Structure formats: structure tokens, C-alpha cells
Chain A
Amino acid sequence: MKFTAPRIKNILPHILLGFWTLVVLFPVWTMVINSLKMKLDIYKNPFWLPPKWNFQSYLTVLRNSEFPLYFRNSLFVTVGSIVMILFLGSMAAYALVNWKSRISRWSYAFLIAGMMFPIRIGSINLLQIVNRLGLLNTIWSLFPVYIAMGMPIAVFVLSEFIRQIPEDLTEAATIDGAGRFRIYRSVLVPLLRPALGTVAIFNLVPFWNDLWFPLLFINREEHKTLILGVTRLFGQYQTDWSRILAVLTLSAVPVMVLYLMMSKQFIEGLTAGAVKG
């Protein structure tokens, strides 16, 4: 009998991907681990576990700064906008698939066209509109912009999905005498769940992480979103890196935890519009 050493398959891919894993995880590790050190220990050894654990930075950020307020604002805008997108988008998609007319065909093309144009180009006019509506400096200014921004992808993904639903399913409901809205609510929405999830994830990350529109629209502390608030805290804590890193960690953690729990759906959701469009 001949013995061969067990050969590890795919050595080169493992070396390359392993190296990239280090490149990705090193900054994240640095961020988390140093946020738990004493101010001066950060400078002595930035790479390894703290010699003395320090949770003070987190307590300070959570108790003595506007961080919780910013956090609530972001949660409010992100969740609120996504709920509205799902509601309006699924109703529109329902109509677009079933209504055979010139108007619906044009509307579809018009809505989908928005996938190709970054809304930032319209910033100058959006500022005027938000100002005229009296929404400047309030968190409310973000809702209409985000809902509009999310609509093209929502309509696209949802109507693709509705087209795949077999006719029989809604036919039965129609024979039972269910009206359109009842079919929408009790047949369509439950079936649409996976697609609604995709749309929600697609919008979750850009809304939560958006800097541009909050920076343009909002100046008042009480209305700032998390990421906009981070810019202020970053300046305020400039000399205390432990605190800065605590702020960065806290602002990244919610999305990161969600991502780690359902990375498949995230990857699918975030690349969905891009691949199919």
C-alpha cells in the first residue's frame, strides 16, 4: 500500500481568499478591539486584546451624547420609508401586471427608468422642494425622497414576481367574489413575502447608511440621522480614539449583525436590481 499525504485541495484559492479575509477583517477587528481599550493603550498595541478592558467609552456615548437620539431617528426614517415603499410599490406592481393598457405600459417604463439615474443629480431642485414644503431641517424631509428613490427597484422586482404567480391562485379568490383589494391583501401580499424581503433589504442598507440627503436637508440636532450624527461626534471626540471607535462600532453593528444573521438574503437583495436590471 502506498501512502500519500492528504492533499489539501485548492491551495492557491485558499491562500488568496484567506489573505483577503485578513484584509477585510483587520480594520473591523481594529475598530472593535480598540474601542474597548483605555485611551493610551490604543497607541501601545493596536492589534491585540486590551490589557485592561474599558467599557467607559460605550457608556459615555450611550449616556452622555445624542447618539441614542440619532439612532432612533435613523430607525424611524429607515423603517418608515421601507414600509411605505413596500405598500405603494406592491400596489403599483399589482396594477401594472394586470392592467393591460397604454397608460400602464408607459407608467412601467417611466418608473423603471429611474433605476438608471442617480437621484443626487436632482439635489438642487430637491432642496428647493423640501424648503417650499417647509420640511427643511426636519427628519420628515427624508421620507418622500427615500420613498421615491426606492420605487423603481420595488416596482421592478415586485412585478417580475407577480408575473410568476399562477393564475389559478387569484382566480379562485375572484370566483369567491373577492374584490381587488381583498385579493391584494389576502392572496397577493402573503405570496409576495420573499420579494418584499428582497426589496426591503435592498433599501435598508443605503437608507441606514445615507449621508448625502441628511447632510443637505438637516441641520437641527434633534432631527439628525445616525450617520450625520457620527460626523459631529467624530469631530467632538477627536482626541479620544477609544470613544470615536465606540461610535463607529455602535453605528455599524445593527446592520452588520443583521447581515451576519442572513447574509444570503442580503447578498441576493443588494445585488438583485443590479443583475436583473
Chain B
Amino acid sequence: MPSIGQRRNRPGNSNWNWIFYLLPALVVYTFFMAYPLLNSLRLSFFTGSGFELSRFIGFDNYIRLFKDPQISERYWGDFKNTWIFFAVHMIVQNVLGLLFANLLTRKGLKGSDFYRTVIFLPATLSILVTGYLWKLILNPQWGALNLILGKLGLMGEPFAWLGEPSTALITISLVSSWQWVGMPTMMFLAGLQNISGDLFEAAAIDGASRGTVFWKIKLPLLRPIIGIVAILTFVNNFNAFDVVFAMENVNGAPQFSTDIMGTFFYRVGIAGQHPVGIPDRGVGAAVATLTFILLAIGVSLIMGIANREDRR
């Protein structure tokens, strides 16, 4: 077979004509994605009023972000909260995903398609709808969840899961994990199905236990996918906003315990902070820039670990 899909160019039909096929996509992408992304980094050195930022002020936005006691307290608090949010997703969502993918590949498992459909179902819901729905279920007055826990004898008094600073952030993280667990499940599933059956047969002949097969064969071969899942989780969590917006509003109630980078960015750069109510877009751009840098570092670190050659 000749190499596939590569068509010869007819004489007289200049190669440059291809530019007309390429240009529309390139133009929209450049002006509404690439340029705003990079330009927002530049804007972190500017200030102004309204939408326009025209006055260059060097690092002043960053200095405000870190030196203004009110702003910097929030920034670091939210930085920490976002890491907790991320940790819960890694531990709950991604470990469950790995578990489910493993269970779904069991030989002769009946109803595998049904389980798959169910596990992925919440990922098709709007985060806002998920958030609102769980907010109602967790509501201490109605408290469908409190009722169940009470009936099972696991809990006495109704508890305000979203009202206590000690539980609110974890609760929200769990709701978000509930929604997204289908993603890692399907990715791990695809990875497991790509592993050659010969390996499992060989292992079976050697009398390897399920645990051994998991730790010695599956997990090492899944490493690139674990890397991708970790990157996706990281990027999504550090940009998360909707779930907190739905369940606790943009102020990250109670007492900023559920405030994360996404809600902070929204308050500072887009909507304006209480009590001033006027957004400081320059500081907002600075927050976005720092998130951008953090994501770049995080993604390259995870990629480095996931793709590291085994030295043996």
C-alpha cells in the first residue's frame, strides 16, 4: 500500500491554495483563544478602570496580591483549599476510577455495559445542576442524606454538611468526584483493554494472584494513562468554579472554607470583591498568570514522572 491519506497535488492547483482552507479556523482560534490567553499574561502588568487596562504599572498587581493583607490572605487560603480539592479528587475520584475499570474488565462480568453507562452518567450533567441537586439533598432541613444516615443508624442529629467549615470543602470535593469519576474510569478501562492478553495468560500460568497481576502488570503499564488522568484532574481542579458557585456561592462560604482559585479569580477579576464591588482586572490577570505558570509547572512535572524511563 502506498502511504495512506497523502494526496498528490495536481499541477496548476497551487499549494498555497491550501491556506484558504486553513485560514478561517486559524483566525478564530488565534483571536479568541491563543491571543487572549497570552494577552491576559501581559495585562497582569497593567491597570485601569472598566474593561480597559492601559496604564503600565510593572509588578504592582503582583505586589498588591502578595502584600495587601486582605488579598494575600485570601489568595494563600484559596491556594491551600484548591490543593485539598485536588487531593480529594486524586484519592477518591481517580482511585475509584481505577477500581471500577478493574472490576469492569473482569472476565464474564454480566451487566458491564449497564454499569459503564451508570458510572459515566453524572459526567453528562451540568456541574451547576449537580451542585444544586446535592445542595438540596444535603440540606439539613429536608436532608434526604441525613434521613438515610439516620435510618441506617449512622447518625443522630441532622448535620449541616455544607454549613461547617470543617466539612464543607471535603463535601464539595466529594460531590465533584461523584460527577467526574466516569472520566478516569473510561480512560483506565481503555488502557486495560489495550494490554495484551498474553501477559495475563503468562501470569495465570505462573500462578500469579490477582493482586500480583494488578501491581506488577496492570499498574506499570497504565502509567502513561495515570499521568494523563493526573494532568486532567490538576488542570480542571485549578480552574474549577461552578461546583462552589452552585453549592456555596462565589464567596466560598462558610468563612471562605470552600473558596478556591476559580472563585477567587472570579471575585477579584470579574465581579468585584465585597465590600468594594468593583473588579480589579489587573490583579485578576495576575491571578490568572500565576495559575497559568502553576499549571505549566504541574503538567510538565507530571509528564516527566509518567514518561520516565524505567532504569533497570
A28 to B236, CA, bound (A): 24
* With A165-B5, A167-B5, A227-B128 as contacts: A263 and B120 at CB distance below 8 Å: yes
Shortest CB-to-CB span from B20 to chain A, Å, is 8
Q: Which of A88, A151, A209 contacts B33 (CB 8 A)?
A: A151
Summarize A's interface: helix, strand, loop or mixed.
helix
Q: Which of B13, B36, B121, B225 contacts A275 (CB 8 A)?
A: B225
A230 to B131, CA, bound (A): 12
User: Which residues of chain A are within 8 angstroms of B178 by Cβ–Cβ distance?
Assistant: 23-24
- Is B273 at the interface (CB under 8 A from chain A)? no
> Contact between A167 and B132 (Cβ–Cβ < 8 Å)?
no
Report, as a range, how many residues of chain B touch the other chain: 35 or more
> Contact between B24 and A248 (Cβ–Cβ < 8 Å)?
no
* With A46-B144, A118-B239, A227-B126 as contacts: A9 and B284 at CB distance below 8 Å: no
User: What sequence of 0s and 1s flags, for each residue 143-162 of chain A, a beta carbon within 8 Å of any chain B beta carbon?
Assistant: 01101110110010000001
A62 to B126, CA, bound (A): 20
> Contact between A166 and B137 (Cβ–Cβ < 8 Å)?
no
> Contact between A88 and B24 (Cβ–Cβ < 8 Å)?
yes
User: What sequence of 0s and 1s flags, for each residue 3-34 of chain B, a beta carbon within 8 Å of any chain A beta carbon?
Assistant: 11111111001010111011011101101111
A27 to B116, CA, bound (A): 18
Shortest CB-to-CB span from B153 to chain A, Å, is 17
A149 to B187, CA, bound (A): 22
A256 to B117, CA, bound (A): 11
User: Which residues of chain B are within 8 angstroms of A117 by Cβ–Cβ distance?
Assistant: 37, 292, 295
User: What sequence of 0s and 1s flags, for each residue 219-250 of chain B, a beta carbon within 8 Å of any chain A beta carbon?
Assistant: 00000010010001001100101100100000
- Is B186 at the interface (CB under 8 A from chain A)? yes
* With A91-B24, A117-B37 as contacts: A148 and B32 at CB distance below 8 Å: yes
> Contact between A30 and B137 (Cβ–Cβ < 8 Å)?
yes
* With A30-B137, A155-B25 as contacts: A24 and B33 at CB distance below 8 Å: no
User: Which residues of chain A are within 8 angstroms of B3 by Cβ–Cβ distance?
Assistant: 167
Q: Which of B32, B106, B122 contacts A129 (CB 8 A)?
A: B32
User: Which residues of chain B are within 8 angstroms of A152 by Cβ–Cβ distance?
Assistant: 29
- Is B1 at the interface (CB under 8 A from chain A)? yes
- Is B43 at the interface (CB under 8 A from chain A)? yes
User: Which residues of chain B are within 8 angstroms of A205 by Cβ–Cβ distance?
Assistant: 123-124
Residues of B within 8 A of A (CB): 1-10, 13, 15, 17-19, 21-22, 24-26, 28-29, 31-40, 43, 51-53, 96, 99-100, 103-104, 106, 108-111, 115-129, 132-134, 136-137, 142, 144, 147, 178, 182-183, 186-187, 190-191, 225, 228, 232, 235-236, 239, 241-242, 245, 262, 265, 269-270, 281, 284-285, 288, 291-292, 295, 299
B250 and chain A: residue at smallest CB distance: A215
16 new A-B contacts, CB < 8 A, other than A107-B26, A111-B25, are A13-B103, A13-B109, A14-B110, A20-B96, A91-B22, A118-B239, A119-B36, A121-B295, A124-B270, A144-B31, A166-B1, A211-B245, A230-B132, A255-B124, A270-B186, A274-B228
User: Which residues of chain B are within 8 angstroms of A104 by Cβ–Cβ distance?
Assistant: 18, 22
